[in-house]
């Protein structure tokens, strides 16, 4: 699916075009077998800016080495060293595995910060376009993003779902916030415990690919009372967990 609008169009039962996977065949059409009642586009906060910059001709970073790696025009040393191929190699080269690339994001990441804001606003605008706020309420959209922490190639990911259209200025990324405890603290500081009406939950995502890391007690070394506070906050923000997805269950 190419855009949030495509995703919502598909979710509501419209016919859309998707890539067939075969260069000779090109595009094909598809339709969901049963329209959904609600949906959210949970794009990776870590990659929203870079992917947009690297796929938009004329952008501030389009001709950078990092973007050439992402588009498959050049292979990074790190990808070669780790034996990565295809999309994983392009992402590894684009992000440098540990952070954002200066040639793509600029000094102090100012280019990527601005682009992230633009992509996030576009995502939110699409959600608002497709939300049926009439009395029929045939389809509900949620403003959302994915926090994609991947230590040692595991997936300690969370889909952050907002109750309404009120949100933090930018989605919280694991590149800037690599500790899950800090994600929860930022959610309450920037959203749930403000007087703006913002409210978020974080749904553990891909737990079957987390190598047991999703449910570890990450605050076990803290003093007992701090452990209790962290556990209460985790229970408050993570009341449910994803059980099934296209990758397994």
**E strands present in 119-206:** 140-142, 144-149, 156-162, 200-205
Task: In whole angstroms, give the CA distance from residue 146 to residue 156.
Answer: 11
Task: In whole angstroms, give the CA distance from residue 220 to residue 143.
Answer: 32
Whether the per-residue pLDDT at 86 is higher than 80: the answer is no
Residue of higher predicted confidence among 124 and 246: 124
List, in order, residues 6 or more apart from 184 with CB less than 8 Å away.
Answer: 202, 230, 233, 234, 237, 238
Q: What is the pLDDT of residue 82?
A: 44
pTM greater than 0.85 (yes/no):
yes
Whether the per-residue pLDDT at 85 is higher than 60: the answer is no
Task: In whole angstroms, give the CA distance from residue 88 to residue 215.
Answer: 25
Report the Cα 63 to chain-centroid distance in Å: 24
Cα separations (Å) of 57 from 54, 163, 172? 8, 35, 26
Q: What is the pLDDT of residue 24?
A: 84
pLDDT grade, residue 74 (50/70/90)?
confident
Share of the chain above pLDDT 90, in %: 75
Q: pLDDT tens-digit profile of 198-240?
A: 999 999 999 999 999 999 999 999 999 999 999 999 999 999 9
Q: What is the pLDDT of residue 233?
A: 98
Mean pLDDT of the chain: 90
């Amino acid at each position: 699916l190419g855009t949030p609008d495509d995703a919502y169009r598909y979710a509501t039962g419209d016919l859309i075009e998707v890539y067939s996977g075969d260069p000779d065949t090109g595009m094909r059409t598809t339709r969901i077998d049963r329209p959904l009642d609600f949906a959210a586009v949970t794009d990776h906060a870590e990659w929203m800016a870079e992917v947009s910059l690297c796929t938009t001709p004329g952008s501030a970073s389009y001709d950078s080495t990092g973007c050439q790696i992402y588009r498959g025009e050049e292979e990074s040393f790190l990808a070669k060293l780790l034996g990565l191929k295809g999309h994983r190699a392009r992402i590894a080269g684009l992000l440098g595995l540990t952070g954002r690339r200066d040639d793509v994001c600029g000094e102090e990441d100012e280019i990527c910060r601005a682009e992230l804001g633009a992509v996030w606003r576009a995502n939110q605008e699409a959600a608002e376009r497709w939300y049926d706020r009439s009395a029929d309420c045939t389809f509900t959209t949620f403003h959302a993003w994915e926090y994609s922490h991947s230590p040692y190639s595991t997936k300690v990911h969370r889909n952050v779902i907002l109750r309404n259209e009120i949100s933090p200025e930018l989605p919280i990324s694991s590149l800037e916030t690599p500790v899950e405890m800090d994600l929860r603290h930022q959610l309450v500081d920037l959203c749930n415990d403000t007087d703006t009406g913002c409210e978020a939950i974080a749904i553990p995502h891909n737990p079957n690919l987390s190598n047991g890391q999703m449910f570890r007690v990450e605050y076990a070394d803290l003093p007992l009372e701090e452990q209790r506070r962290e556990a209460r906050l985790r229970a408050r923000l993570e009341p449910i967990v994803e059980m099934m997805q296209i990758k397994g269950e």
